[in-house]
Amino acid sequence: MPSPTLKQLRYFEAVARHNHFGHAAETCAISQPALSMQIKELETILGTPLFERGPRHVRLTGFGEEVRAQARTILRAVDDLQAMARAAQGELTGRLRLGVIPTIAPYLLPAVIGRLMRDYPGLDLRVRETVTPRLLRELDEGRLDAAIVALPVSEPALTEVPLFTEEFVLVRPAAEADLPVPRADSLHRMRLLLLEEGHCFRDQALSFCTAPSARPRELMDGSSLSTLVQMVGAGMGVTLIPEMAVPVETRSADVAVARFDAPRPERTIGLVWRQASPLASRFQRIAEAVRDIARDLATTRRAT
């Protein structure tokens, strides 16, 4: 009896993740008929269907759910084996899948990518930008090697290494630049523009802005910090953004930036990875590089 191949398991996992053969084929960079054929061969080998196929979607069968759990374990073990081989070479080479949250990626990634490409020319860096819950899920599933997120994440299976701390600043219409900076306990009475549900920065901002017994007077959601700042420039309310985003997001908007009185709101950004990863020592080196970059960016901001 033939055994399932790693290729078949990777294709199967992609279909299970997307619930769609076409999207899975795009992710795997093959044609949909070729992927479908591999899935069919896998079902033949295992002797039972793995998916319920509908006209617009596919769903895992009960047996398919069991196979998915095993496939994840197998694929993660293979990835760790490859990572062990890279670690044994003494240099950070080969594929590195790095996740980054959207409120960090546009402001930090260009410098990080440039530094890593310079220091590790043999590195094949793959970047994934999405919200924290998805990054943590993909780390757990072995689809990411490490991620830059806001700490703490409080996941026992992950190592957390702090990188830097940054403040939140208030962004309001330029016409309000000379007004006193509102206290944290008065922000709940203002029209507050925040990122949509799922972004950890939204929760962090709310924890600072919301009085213990009150919610903000009116919340409006945006899909990105850029959208929020432009909405503020149009007079729709006020928002909070991380200090790192200020030079990029406020340069083309009619807004004013103000710092809060102490204690100022802030967040800690860190690098996380699976504790079992053989590349832990290499991630420590990456963490040092990101710390240096963040320090340089902060120095440049203060000088301008």
For helices 32-46 and 21-28, the axis angle rounded to 10 degrees is 110
Give how far Cα 32 sits from Cα of 4, 28, 67, 169, Å. Answer: 19, 10, 21, 47
Q: 37-41, 104-108, 201-205, 286-290: lowest mean pLDDT where?
A: 201-205
Does 180 lie in the same domain as 248?
yes
Identify whether the C-beta of residue 275 lies closer than 8 Å to the C-beta of residue 194.
no
Contacts for 301 with CB less than 8 Å, ≥ 6 apart = 243, 244, 246, 247
What is the pTM for the complete model shown? 0.78
CATH number for the domain spanning 208: value is 3.40.190.10
Cα distances (Å, whole numbers) of residue 174 to 178, 194, 235, 253, 293 = 9, 19, 9, 9, 31
Is residue 175 a part of any domain in this protein?
A: yes
Do residues 174 and 248 both lie within one domain? yes
Judge whether 112 lies within some domain: yes
Query: Is 1 inside any structural domain?
Result: no
Average pLDDT of the residues in 269-277: 93
Of 39, 55, 82, the residue at which a domain comes to its end is 82
179: DSSP letter: S
**Domain check: are 130 and 175 in the same one?**
no
pLDDT digits (tens, 9 = 90+) for 182-227: 887 787 778 889 888 878 888 888 888 764 444 555 567 788 999 9
User: For residue range 64-121, what is the model confidence (pLDDT) as tens digits?
Assistant: 999 998 998 888 888 778 777 766 666 677 888 999 999 999 999 999 999 998 888 8
Polymer length in residues for the chain:
304
- Per the structure, the complete domain to which residue 260 belongs is given by 165-266
Least confident of 71-75, 135-139, 146-150, 159-163: 71-75
